[in-house]
Amino acid sequence: MTKTITTRRVVRSAVTNFFRNFWVSVAATSMVAITLFIISTILVLYTLAVLSISNSQDKVGVITAYFNDKTTDQEMADIKAEVELLPNVREVIFISHEEAERRFRERHKDNSILISSLSEFEKPVQASLSIRSEDLNNYEGLYNELKSQRYSAYFDRVSDTRVVIEKLSRIIDFITKFGIILALIFMAVTVMVTFNTIRLTIYNRREEVEIMRLVGATNWYIRWPFIIEAMMYAVLATLIVSIVAFGLLYLLSGSIEEFLSLDSLGTNLINALFSRIVIVNILASLGLSILASYIAIRRYLKI
C-alpha cells in the first residue's frame, strides 16, 4: 500500500515537472524523436536492401541473352534447342518479340510517352532466351559460352546479373556503415541533450530536493522523478516517430516496391517492419534516456 502511494507520488512529481518546464521537455523529446527517426530510416533501408538482394539472388542464376534483329524465328528455335543441350543448363525459356513487348507495355502502362514511342520501331523490344544454370558455380562458364563466337552472330547482348548483386551489396555496406555512424552521432547528441535537460531540472528543483533530503526522503524517492521524466521523453518520442513511420510506410510502400523491383511488400512486411521499428525505438530511446538521466543524477544530485 505504502509502495503504491509512494510510486503514485513519484510519478505525479515527474509528470508535474514535465509540464512545468514544458518547452525544455519539448526540446528534449524532439531531440530523442529526431534520433529515433534516423534509426528507423536506417532500419527500413537496411531491411529493404537485404530483401532486395535476396530477391535478386534468386535471379542470379538466370542469364538473359537477347537476339539481334537479324536472327530468324527458325534460328531462334535452333539456338534454343542447342543451348538446352549445353552442360549445366537447367532450363531455357524463349520470350518472343510479341511476348516481350506485351510485358513491356504492361510494366510501363502508366507511361504514355514511352508506350506511344514503341510504334516508331519495327521490333521495339528484343526476343530473348532466359537460361537458368544448374547452380551459381556454373554461372560463369555458361555466361562465357553464350558470349563466345559461336553465338555472337545471334545474340546482341548477354546480361550479367552479378553486377546488380555486387551493386546491391555495396549499397547495403554503405547503408550499414553510414547508418551506424550517423546513428551513433545522434545517440551521443541525444544523451547530451537529455543529460542537460535533467541537469537543468535538477537545478530548477534544487530547493525542493534539499527539503526532501532534510525531511528524510529516500535517495530513490528523490531520484526516480528525474528518471521517469527522461523516460517520458523517450515514450513520447517513440509514439511520435511510430505514428510518422507507419504513415510513411503505408504511403510509400507502392513506390518502394517499384523502385526495388520487389513483387510485393505486402501487409505482413509493413507490419513486420513497423513492429521492428517500434521495438528498436522503444529500447533505444529508453536506454539512452535512462543512461543520460542516471549520469545527470549521479553527478548533480547530492543525496
Partner 1 sequence: MIKFDSVTKAYNKVLALNNVNLEIHKGEFLSVVGQSGAGKSTMMSLIIGEERPDEGQILIDDIDIAAIRAKDIPYLRRKIGVVFQDIKLLPMRTAFENIAFALEVSGEKPSMIQKEVPKILEMVGLEEKSKAFPHEMSGGERQRVAIARALAHKPVLLLADEPTGNLDSINAWEIIQLLLKINKAGTTVILATHAKDIVNSVKKRVITLENGEVVYDQEKGKYVL
Number of residues this chain uses to bind partner 1 (CB under 8 A) = 20
Which of 210, 247, 267, 283: binder of partner 1 (CB under 8 A)? 210
Task: Mention every residue, 6+ apart, whose C-beta is less than 8 A from residue 278.
Answer: 238, 242
Binding test (CB under 8 A) with partner 1, winner from 24, 208, 231, 286: 208
Q: Show the binding pattern over residues 221-250: x = contacts partner 1 (CB under 8 A), - = does not.
A: x-----------------------------
Cβ neighbours of 126 (radius 10 Å): 20
φ, ψ at 133 (rounded to 5°) = -80, 165
Give the C-alpha separation, 143 to 138, whole Å.
9
List, in sequence order, every residue forming a beta bridge with 66; answer none if it has no partner. Answer: 128, 157
Binding partner 1 (rule: CB under 8 A), the pick from 158, 168, 202, 212 is 212
**In which element (H, E) is residue 222 found?**
helix 219-259
Residues in the chain: 303
Q: How many CB atoms lie within 10 A of CB 85?
A: 8
Task: Candidates 55-63, 72-80, 96-104, 210-218: pick the segment binding partner 1 (CB under 8 A).
Answer: 210-218
> What gap in Å lies between CA 15 and CA 214, rounded to an integer?
23
Q: Using the rule CB under 8 A, is 106 a contact of partner 1?
A: no
| Contacts with partner 1, 1-40, as mask; x by CB under 8 A | xxx-xx--x-------------------------------
Stretch that binds partner 1, among 29-37, 195-203, 206-214, 243-251 (CB under 8 A): 206-214
According to the binding rule CB under 8 A, does residue 105 interact with partner 1?
no
Are 28 and 233 within 8 A, CB to CB? yes
Using DSSP's 3-state secondary structure scheme, residue 96 falls into coil
| The three grid cell numbers given for residue 8, joined into one nine-digit string | 503514485
- Applying CB under 8 A, which part among 69-77, 86-94, 205-213, 260-268 lies near partner 1? 205-213
Segment lying near partner 1 (by CB under 8 A), choices 143-151, 160-168, 214-222, 288-296: 214-222
Region from 101-109, 190-198, 217-225, 247-255 binding partner 1, contact rule CB under 8 A:
217-225
- Using CA atoms, how far residue 79 sits from 37, 93, 119, 195, 213, in Å, is 54, 12, 28, 71, 91
Using rule CB under 8 A, residue 219 touches partner 1? yes
- The residues of the shown chain that bind partner 1, judged by CB under 8 A, are 1-3, 5-6, 9, 207-208, 210-219, 221, 303
